[in-house]
Amino acid sequence: MNADLILQTENLGKRFGRFVALRGVSAGFRAGNLTAIIGPNGAGKSTYFNLISGAIAPSGGRILFEGADITGTPQHRFAQLGIAKSYQITSVFPQLSVLENVRVALQALVSRYDVWRPRARLKALRDEAGELLHMVGLWPRHDRPAALLAHGEQRSLEIAVALASHPRLLLLDEPTAGMSPEETRDMMGLIVRLAQQRTVILVEHKMKLVMGICDRLLVLHHGELLAEGTPDDIRRNDDVRRVYLGQREH
C-alpha cells in the first residue's frame, strides 16, 4: 500500500449480464497528479469511470479512497468524502440560474434538510458561488438560466458545480466531448489550472489531447489494464502502439 496514492482499485470488475465490461483492473492514482484514462472505443473507460465515481456498483473488487474502502458507498456520500465529478453528457440544473446551480451545490455540504430559515440567509454560499463562477469565467452570465448557456459554457458550469464540494479528487468524463476547437483549448487550460490544486482524473477518447498536459496515463483495452505510466512511457510502450496503430484517432 502506497501512502501517496489517493485512489486505488483492486481487481475491479463489472459484468452486465453475460457481457464483461471490465475484468479485474488494479491501478493506483497518485495524489496531486493529473491522470488521464485513455483507450479506444469500448475499452471500458466509461465503465471504469462510473465505478470509481460510484455511479454503478462493481461486480467484484474494491475501491480505496485515501486508504479507506469506499466500495458500495451510496452516490450522495461521495461529495462529503471529497470526490466530485462531471458527466460525459452535460448535467446541470437547466431551469435554475447559473449562480443558483453553484449555490445549491455548495449548500449540499452545509444545509440539506432545513425547511425554515430563508436560504438567502446563507450569504457565504452566494459569495463563494460567485468566486467559483469568476474562476471558470462564467460570472458575466450568472443570472441566466443554465439551459440558455452555450454547450461549452455548460461544461464549465458543470465543473464549477463539481468544485463546489471542495473535492480533493475531481473526476472528469470526456470534458471536451462535442466542443469546438476553441472551447476545447479553453477547457484544457482550465483543467491544467484545476490540477495545480487538486488531484484530477479524466477520461479521454482523444489521446493526443492529454499527452501534453497529464502527469500519468492509464490505458485500457478490452476491459483490461493495458499499460500505465508517464506520457513518455506510454508513447514507448509496444502494447499501446499495437492497439493504436492502424486505428487512427478521430
Partner 1 sequence: MRRDAWIARLTPHRAALASLFLLVFPLFMPFKAIAVNILIQGLFALGFNLLYGYLGLLSFGHAALLGGGAYACGIVIVRFGMPWWIGIASGTLAGMLVAAAIGALAIRTRGIYFAMVTLALAQCLYFVAYQAVDWTGGENGLRGVNVAGISLLGVHLDIVRPLVRYYFVAAFVIAALFVLSRILASPFGAAMEAIRENETRARACGYDIAASRWLAFVLSGGFCGLAGALQAIHLGIVPVETLYYTTSGLAVMMTLLGGMGTFFGPFIGAGVFLLLEEVVSLWTVHWQLLVGAVFVACVLFFPRGLWGTLLAGHAR
52-55, Cβ contacts within 8 angstroms, sequence gap of 24 or more = 52/7, 52/9, 52/12, 52/171, 52/201, 53/78, 53/83, 53/85, 53/171, 53/173, 54/78, 54/83
Residues within window 21-80 making contact with partner 1, judged by CB under 8 A = 53, 74-80
Min dist CB 130 to partner 1, Å, is 16
How many C-beta neighbours within 10 Å does residue 245 have?
8
Site string for partner 1, 77-116 (x = CB under 8 A): xxxx---xx-x---xxxxxx---x--xxx-xxx-xxxxxx
6 touches 29 (CB < 8 A): yes
Q: Which residues contact 106 (CB under 8 A, 6 or more apart)?
A: 125, 128, 129, 164, 165
Min dist CB 75 to partner 1, Å, is 5
User: Measured from the CB atom, is 12 or 105 closer to partner 1?
Assistant: 105
Identify the residue among 5, 64, 70, 122 touching partner 1 (CB under 8 A): 122
Distance CA 163, CA 191 (A): 12
Strands 199-203, 34-38: pairing kind: parallel
> Which of helix, strand or coil describes residue 102?
helix
User: Measured from the CB atom, is 19 or 113 closer to partner 1?
Assistant: 113
Does 123 bind partner 1 (CB under 8 A)? Our answer is no
Min dist CB 53 to partner 1, Å, is 8
User: Measured from the CB atom, is 66 or 215 closer to partner 1?
Assistant: 66
Residue ranges that bind partner 1, judged by CB under 8 A: 53, 74-80, 84-85, 87, 91-96, 100, 103-105, 107-109, 111-120, 122, 161-162, 164-165
